[in-house]
Amino acid sequence: MATPRPLSSPDITRRLNEVLPHWRHQDGALRRDYRTGGWRATLLAANAIAHLAELAWHHPELELGYDHVGIRLSTHSAGGVTDLDLALAEEIERWLGWRPGPDSALSGTPAEHAYLIDDPG
Ligand SMILES: C[C@H](O)[C@H](O)[C@H]1CNC2=NC(N)=NC(=O)C2=N1
């Protein structure tokens, strides 16, 4: 599969505004920070991201902290942000953003076991 061409900054900004409002374009990469409920939650989230990256065969840089996971996505072989980065960012956002629905039998993570802290708005 040929390496896609790097996208222009206006195209990236438009696509982020359309489908990835919590992501930003910064220093030549897509960036997203998830707040977590502590180190164990950070490592669980990092492993979930790693799982998706390996299945996608497209890999981010991760920064891990006691209460956050920082993601940096760019396409190394293209030297910039491509559709591959946007596609993986959408999958990460979809799976890390999943919560049981109001009609689900599943309760979701109790507040006292804070895992991924929901973004304000
Ligand atoms: C060897 C090379 O890294 C691989 O073919 C794939 C795997 N994951 C990758 N991930 C990212 N972010 N960019 C790449 O160019 C890339 N290439």
Q: Is the CB of 103 under 6 A from ligand 1?
A: no
Q: How far is the CA of 79 from the centre of ligand 1 (A)?
A: 11
Q: Kindly report, residue by residue over 70-100, the tens digit of the pLDDT.
A: 999 999 999 999 999 999 999 999 999 999 9
Q: What is the mean pLDDT of residues 39-63?
A: 98
Residue of 76, 84, 88, 92 with the most ligand 1 atoms within 8 Å of its CB, for mutation: 76
Mean pLDDT of the chain: 96
Q: Give the DSSP H/E element, type plus range, for residue 68.
A: strand 68-73
Q: How far is the CA of 40 from the centre of ligand 1 (A)?
A: 27
Q: Is the dihedral of CA 4, 5, 6, 9 positive or negative?
A: negative
> What is the structure's pLDDT at 121?
55
